[in-house]
Amino acid sequence: MSGSLEGQVIVVTGASRGIGLATARSLLQRGARVALLARQRPALQGALAALAAPQRTLALSADVSERAAITAALAQVAAQWGRIDGLVNNVGFQFARRLELMSEAEIRKLVDLNFLGTVFASQAVIAHLRAAGGGRIVNVSSATVRHPNEFSHVGMYSACKAAVEQFSAELRHELKADRIMVSVFSCGAVATGSVANFDPAALAEAMQDWLTKGPLCDGVLQPHTVGEAIAACFALPPGVALEFLELRPNVPTPKMLESTQTAGAADAGAS
């Protein structure tokens, strides 16, 4: 897949670091204008500086779990650039803990960030994409939905991503007449440092369980590889739907926490 995205305006949620920032960089390299959305302004400003494309980037501070906030942010993008052609629903909250020990707040946060944020942003972008004559929504899922050996104690996270996938299938049908394509992009482990979200004791317990599934995992992807694959979804010809794409590392790698979160055996390119 290749192609210029010149003229397209694409919003990436969770774009201040990790996969979202890498996706923003790849979209810019293909010529798009990119609106980066996250909550914390200093990190967003850092991302803008790192991308060094002030004419084609915009930073918006909003919480995707608040429908009014994401709706207002998308309206701001359309007001600034006159259109929206695409949305990457990338915000997610990875978190492992045995269900029995999860607090109500943790469960609600998992649902808010991994499912409802995608629902609210999708709702808010539809009118903008329709006004542009069509477009694409790419919803980021996780290989934990299909591969039990990805990790352990991620049932709630994985269930929310499975909900995103079913939601996407229904929405794809609903929006077909508007020439709006809805894709699910899934991936295995990516070296983004997101393990920092995990509680150390819960992480240690999950690691122990993960080891019982076998001594090897499949390695880890680099964010730039994943970002490039997401950006490529937008370069398909109009009228061509990409329904589902899953990127996974493929190098048998001993299971150690370091091997899942640092420079990868499977994909050791620049990050």
Residues near ligand NAP (CB under 6 A):
13-20, 38-40, 43, 63-65, 90-92, 94, 113, 140, 142, 187, 189-190, 192, 194
Of the candidates 131, 155, 135, 136, the residue with the CA atom closest to the CA atom of residue 145: 155
CB of 6 to ligand NAP, least distance (A): 25
Instruction: Report CA 238 to chain centroid distance, whole Å.
Output: 22
Burial of 116 (0-12, 13-18, 19+ CB in 10 A): middle
Tell me which of 157, 198, 210, 234 is the catalytic residue. Answer: 157
Torsion, CA 121, CA 29, CA 92, CA 271, rounded to 10: -170
- What CA–CA distance (Å, rounded) separates 216 from 254? 5
Kind of pairing between the strands at 216-217 and 253-254: antiparallel
Decide if 133 is catalytic. no
Residues shown for the chain: 271
Q: Minimum CB separation from ligand NAP for residue 202, in Å?
A: 17
Kindly tell me which of 86 and 92 has the beta carbon lying closer to ligand NAP: 92
Residues 45 and 123 sit within 8 Å (Cβ to Cβ): no
φ/ψ of 219, rounded to 5, equals 95, -160
Minimum Å distance from CB 242 to ligand NAP?
A: 17
User: Which residue's CB is nearer to ligand NAP, number 64 or number 138?
Assistant: 64
CB of 189 to ligand NAP, least distance (A): 4
In 3D space, the residue among 158, 253, 151, 162 whose CA is nearest the CA of residue 202 turns out to be 151
Minimum CB distance to ligand NAP, residue 244 (Å)? 14
What SS3 class is residue 239? Answer: coil
Q: Which is nearer to ligand NAP, 43 or 169 (CB)?
A: 43
Which helix H or strand E contains 233, and what residues bound it? helix 223-233
Task: Return the active site residues.
Answer: 157
